[in-house]
Amino acid sequence: MLRSLERVEERLGEAVHATDRLADVTARHLLAAGGKRVRPLLALLAAEVAGSVNEDVIEAAVVVELTHLASLYHDDVMDSAPMRRGVQTAHTVWGNTVAILTGDMIFARASALVSALGQEPLMIQATTFERLVIGQLKETTGPAEHEDPVSHYVDVLSGKTGSLIAASGQYGALLGGAPRSVVELMVVYGEKVGLAFQLADDIIDLTGHPDVSGKTRGTDLREGVDTLPVLLLRRDAAGPDPAVAASAHHVLRLID
Ligand code: GRG
């Protein structure tokens, strides 16, 4: 796995290379800053279980990290996030326009690579991108009038985080040689891992130490994004137990 991840890293460096000097610097900015490479690892692991980690699987692992990277550039603009991966976000350094265009360029590179993998991976990529965008859009619009806020939240997470984690598993299983039934199961698996992953990420936003998480604490709160901890506090505040409701109100007041 470590050798394969090194190969993914090499290919990522090549994939973001741009002849335009500014584009090259801005695209390397977040890649060089670190990141856990969870999605590439998941693609590699799924392929290993399915049969083999071949060059196509390495390329797919590069595609998922590039797609993730592109979405981070855009997400940080939307959230006005000052820090990511322990460094200043691209929009803080170069402004919103440059950060958005950098995300676009990286996404274009991911699309070029995935098109070389064939029709089926291209469809996975298209479906994933749409779900990613819709998840993000739903987060922006908030729940519909009669929609339960918690199920809306789960819906958002399944789109904005679950979709790409699912795609990582799908690519790995498909290109590693798994039968179709296993590739399809990776969607269910990815959604659940994605949900757990994003829940942890949301809690880190509230409680994590910036030196460890690489992010400024409280970005979601400042931006008015209602994550599960806040939704559950509101539910408790309106609930039947007066002691629980009083503590929930107290925390909500602190948050305000
Ligand atoms: C242009 C591809 C593209 C998308 C536009 C902005 C957007 C639509 C979607 C945003 C999706 C998003 C940023 C979801 C958050 C996902 C998340 C949990 C990020 C943190 O992932 P980690 O912990 O980060 O894997 P590292 O830094 O380790 O890679």
Q: What is the pLDDT of residue 120?
A: 96
The continuous run of DSSP H or E covering 224 comes out as: none
Question: Within 13 Å, how many C-alpha atoms sit on residue 115's CB side?
Answer: 6
Which residue in this structure is represented by tokens 């979709």? 163
User: How remote is the CA of residue 164 from the centroid of ligand 1, in Å?
Assistant: 9
Report residues whose beta carbon is within 6 angstroms of any ligand 1 atom.
Answer: 35-36, 38, 67-68, 70-72, 74-75, 85, 103, 107, 132-133, 136, 160-161, 197-198, 201
Contact call for residues 72 and 207 (beta carbons, < 8 A): no
Query: Hey, whose CA ends up nearest to atom 20 of ligand 1?
Result: 201
Q: What is the pLDDT of residue 212?
A: 80
Enumerate domains of the chain plus CATH numbers. 2-225 (1.10.600.10)
ipTM field = 0.96
Q: What is the pLDDT of residue 237?
A: 94
DSSP-derived letter for residue 158 is I
The continuous run of DSSP H or E covering 87 comes out as: strand 87-88
Q: What is the pLDDT along the chain (256 residues), one digit of tens a residue?
A: 899 999 999 999 999 999 999 999 999 999 999 999 999 999 999 999 999 999 999 999 999 999 999 999 999 999 899 999 999 999 999 999 999 999 999 999 999 999 999 999 999 999 999 999 999 999 999 999 999 998 999 999 999 999 999 999 999 999 999 999 999 999 999 889 989 988 898 888 888 888 887 777 888 888 777 888 888 999 999 999 999 999 999 988 887 7
For the CA of 198, the nearest atom of ligand 1: 18
Q: What is the pLDDT of residue 238?
A: 92
* pTM of the predicted model as reported, rounded to 2 decimal places: 0.91
The pairing of strands 83-84 and 87-88 is antiparallel
Question: What stretches of 38-95 show up as alpha helix (H) in DSSP?
Answer: 38-50, 55-79, 90-94
Question: Within 13 Å, how many C-alpha atoms sit on residue 244's CB side?
Answer: 10
